[in-house]
Amino acid sequence: MAVSVQPRRSHERRVDISMMGAPAPRTRQEPPVEIVFSSRIGPAPEDAHSWVQSILAQVRKPDASLVVLFCGDTRMRELNHQFRGMDTATDVLSFPSGEKGSLGNIAIDVAYARREALKRGHSMERELQVLLVHGILHLLGYDHETDDGKMFRLQRRVVASVFGAGPDGVPSGEEKTQTEKTRNKRVRT
């Protein structure tokens, strides 16, 4: 399966991501996964495509369409401000499409991911893999802020299954259910 990639350009400031929130029109010949770069750093296009396909297979959505944008701090800050009202960069944003067969779009800030990887002592590649899993789970409707640890437990399983042992992006203690947290709190008092 071919990878649709926009070339990396040092002068590129803005990538047409009008598809953020709605899938771009596709023909039968186009792959269901589109990888777009507006950052000079990032994974090899073939690696990114393979990672996404492996994650989609693991979550039982192998035929779903998806667009992944690998961008830098400036573009991510613009997106975060436009869609969440937050004037700061973030690691990953997910935009569900709401259309049959399309999960939606993910934007990943590669520079942010590189800084986090350095801070946490693992590779940027691993951080990008974790962010892809995290973003795809959000597109599937999971929300770690409200689901009592369900998303983080699934994230841990998917990351380990697809990419092997290592960092999984789950904050320490976050995968516990609210019941477990409450039980542990009572035991300590």
Segment-wise mean pLDDT, segments of 10 residues, the chain, 189 residues: 35 36 45 87 93 94 93 96 94 93 95 95 94 96 88 93 84 52 40
Domains, in order of start, for the chain: 33-188 (3.40.390.30)
Q: Which two tokens stand for residue 112?
A: 């942010």
In the block, which residue shows the tokens 């991911």? 113
pLDDT at 101: 87
Q: How far is it, in rounded angstroms, from Cα 18 to Cα 13?
A: 15
pLDDT at 184: 40
pLDDT at 173: 59
Give the Å distances, CA to CA, from 73 to 30, 124, 188: 29, 15, 42
Residues composing the chain = 189
pLDDT at 135: 96
